[in-house]
Structure 1
Amino acid sequence: MDSDSNVMTIVILLGLILLSGYFSSSETAFTSINQIRLRNSAKKGDKRAEWTLKLAEDYNNVLSTILVGNNIVNIASSSLATILFIKYFPQYGVTISTIVMTILVLIFGEITPKAIAKDRPEKVAMFATPFLSILMKFLMPINWLFAKWNNSLAKRLQSEEKSISEEELLSIIDEAEIGGSLEVDEHQLIRSAIKFHDLEVDTILTPRVDVVAADLQDSDEEIQKIFDENVYSRILLYDDSIDEVRGVLHERDFNYYIRRKAKGEKTLSLTEMMKEVLHVPAMMKLSRLLKIMQQSKVHMAVVVDEYGGTIGIVTMEDALEELVGEIWDETDYIEEEITFISEDKYLVRGEASLEKVFDLFQLQNSEKFFSSTISGFVAEILGHFPKEGDKVIYKTMSLKVVKIKNTRVLEIIVEKITEFN
């Protein structure tokens, strides 16, 4: 009879260890669960997924139930094991029981079940849901007391950090892509949307030297030539200087003006035809610019400095491309900023990003150069406007200016060399 009771005690003990594993795996599963996957399964008609999702949304009660249950079975198993071992080893029963139960609970009640649950959280959570739901009803009074205690404690220890930072949000998005929850395109779009609010107009503007514009004093033939030689449907009109931009002229309106004039019919002047142009500061946020453009129903803005001088222009397309990536139209053509010549040797366009070139040569911008382009970097190192043939050596890079137009650097050959001292 005594032997039968010992067998029963061992069976109960094993059952309690299994329950400990059940509670431990449930805790990890509901902590790591992907509610988006569960929601998708529920939409496809999976009733167990729908049931599990309801429990996951009541996480505090689920956690209280799991912790209470786990503590009950662990205390019960330790007590039974102590009684059992004292019968056979009166002097060392407690010590042996502690050692054996610690090993068993760690392996079968903690490490193994948690590892399984971490690897397959949704499956483990759905498996655990039925019994956990029943247990939650039995432990409702205890859970209610714990909820009150948690709320009281939360009010006293309320954290000052009420929301996650941008860096934390970007990390979550990166992990979602690595885990397969987001496609590469979706991941890039969300990242761009988050970082969009930090970008300023000067990061995307077309510089002054590349702006296509006409003087209000130019003849019709000269303006027509500007349209013919460029692919843009709109050009700026200025009065004497590009710093005095007066408006935007659409090619369609100009053609209408020419036709009417050729027929001797009355028509508006170019000044009357041109559309009003926005003037925006270089430090304006892109999100603000886009909103203003939408409200004003314009596609182009002139970027000015603190003195009102023209720095460049920015278009709605430029702003949208920061969100959705390159938008190609019939006026676009592919022109590589960095062209491979031979091993460790590249032909780089002057407007290429300094950061891209540094990344290519595995360099850090430790000196925090003011310039953002490779041409500006060369000028900054030289201390004057570069000339064809000028050469600069910086760390493991040799940079030689090979093509210039007026004072503008068009092309530079960049080559990897041994560290320069």
Structure 2
Amino acid sequence: MDTTVPAAAAATNLDATFWITCAVVLLLLMMSAFFSGTETALTAASRGRLRSNADRGDQGARLALKIKEDEETFIGAILMGNNIANVIATSLTTAALTKIFGVNGVVFASLVMTALILIFAEVLPKTFAITRPDRVSAFAAPVVIWLIRILSPMVAGVRLIVRATLRLFGVRTDPDGHVLAVREEIQGALNLGHSEGLVQKEDRDRILGALDLAERTVEEIMLHRSEIEMIDLSMPPREILVQCLRSSHTRLPIYRGTQEEIVGVVHAKDLLRAMYAMRDKSAETDDPFADFDILGVAMKPYFVPETTTLDDQMRQFLRRHTHFALVVDEYGALQGLITLEDILEEIVGEITDEFDMDAAQPLKPTPAGDYLIDGGMTIRDLNRATDWSLPDDEANTVAGLVIHEAQLIPNQGQVFSFHGFRFEVAQRKDNRITRLKIRPL
């Protein structure tokens, strides 16, 4: 019996099956490459740039932004699609090569698929995607949206299993939380840009200062009550006038009896205008200011709690059209004062004029390599000026940090070392540390 025709037909069928399998494996590798590149692009894409492109009418960017709102879901769907494609491709390759090489086909299939997946389905697409994440994200977003919808039941099941497993080890996940908060994302980008020379230190400090306003309170930057210049209501009008003329401040609180009882705030311009008008009307009398009542030109004091955030306080200043507030604690006791300028200085740095010459150099380098620092300087200002990273969790000022770490009020000349710095008390007045010498160890 002639078996030539059936053998040829079998060889033809085997060849056709092999090439069809190769075509399917190639398609699956392309799908795997798409999933790998898309995952990298969507993870690395900037929400800010996607938002900007979406506002300009880019529908792909709008969909990508929607996908990034739930990173756990889209990562789960992409990983599931990627693994399905890789597993099926590897299984088909193993079956095809086993028919040709027998048991050795398993080894050959493992080697071939490892190389193909690593190069063409992982490294190559991820490298391409990381170079242009926004464009790749916008291009792939319509497909990923449908992938998430199709695989959402399986993804939900996987998420339940993952969370239940993590809960066994005491780890709880926040389904609504992002991997990185916006502020940390911006801070990291600015610090990286500064380290690479792309962002100036002043620009970085200004942006981070604006972002910090919602995290900091007026208590941290207020002028302490011991340093507030006030007017005693019982003083003669002429002495009040002299005090206002000698003062470097335009607004001064007025107190009755004790400095805890603030009854008003006078603006130097209002005071001078009123006293000038009274002098013209009473030019013939010996003391034209004898009947002058300072409360008649004073403004009502504006009190704020010490726990108010700087962001909220700045909004209140703008809404009330005022620049000056007195800070009180939970018992209503005066703690200090804060101005709009104080808040703006947290963004743009120290603002000085011809009356602030003493504050123009709050820290001075010495020939020995130390920094001579005013004890009342805030730790934040010191860090901004020197690029140090002294902690400000327990104290607001440099003197407060030394007292906190030493657990006592040190004497002049005492030296301490902590947080990688050497602190020497250069000057002490009563119970206050007024000057310090600091240098990195």
Q: Report the equivalent of 1:311.
A: 335
Pairwise CA distance, 1:339: 0.4
Contact 2:371–2:437 (Cα < 8 Å) also in 1: yes
Q: Secondary structure at the match of 2:243?
A: helix
**Which residue of the other structure, out of 399, 421, 425, is the alignment partner of 1:374?**
399
What are the within-5 Å matches in structure 2 for residues 22-41 of structure 1? 22-38=34-50, 40=52
**Which residue of the other structure, out of 157, 173, 197, is the alignment partner of 2:186?**
173
Pairwise CA distance, 1:170: 3.0
Q: Report the equivalent of 1:255.
A: 272
Q: Report the equivalent of 1:397.
A: 422
Structure 2, gaps ≥5 residues long: 1-10, 165-171, 283-287
What are the within-5 Å matches in structure 2 for residues 244-283 of structure 1? 244-265=261-282, 269-283=293-307
Q: Report the equivalent of 1:215.
A: 232
Contact 1:204–1:318 (Cα < 8 Å) also in 2: yes
CA distance in 1, matches of 2:440, 2:31: 63
Whether 1:348 aligns to 2:373 is yes
Q: Report the equivalent of 1:56.
A: 64
CA change 1:232–1:183 in 2 (3 A) is: same
CA change 1:207–1:74 in 2 (3 A) is: closer
Pairwise CA distance, 1:392: 0.7
CA distance in 1, matches of 2:74, 2:433: 65
CA change 1:303–1:124 in 2 (3 A) is: closer
Q: What is the CA deviation profile of residues 57-96 of structure 1, one whole-angstrom value per residue up to 9, with x for unaligned ones?
A: 5638987986676466545533442343224312322332
Q: Secondary structure at the match of 1:113?
A: helix
Whether 1:104 aligns to 2:138 is no
Contact 2:425–2:433 (Cα < 8 Å) also in 1: no
Contact 1:282–1:304 (Cα < 8 Å) also in 2: yes
Q: Secondary structure at the match of 1:199?
A: coil
CA distance in 1, matches of 2:316, 2:276: 34
Q: What is the CA deviation profile of residues 371-403 of structure 1, one whole-angstrom value per residue up to 9, with x for unaligned ones?
A: 8332784699595696xxx31121363624358
Number of equivalenced pairs = 400
Contact 2:374–2:434 (Cα < 8 Å) also in 1: yes
Moved more, 357-366 or 203-212: 357-366
Q: Secondary structure at the match of 1:102?
A: helix
Whether 1:146 aligns to 2:151 is yes
CA change 1:392–1:357 in 2 (3 A) is: farther
Contact 2:409–2:431 (Cα < 8 Å) also in 1: no
Structure 1, gaps ≥5 residues long: none
Coordinate RMSD, CA, aligned: 4.7
Pairwise CA distance, 1:280: 3.8
Q: Report the equivalent of 2:105.
A: 93
Contact 1:64–1:146 (Cα < 8 Å) also in 2: no
Q: Report the equivalent of 2:174.
A: 161
Pairwise CA distance, 1:126: 5.6
Q: Report the equivalent of 2:8.
A: none
Q: Report the equivalent of 1:197.
A: 214
CA change 1:143–1:212 in 2 (3 A) is: closer
- The normalised TM-score by structure 2 is 0.70
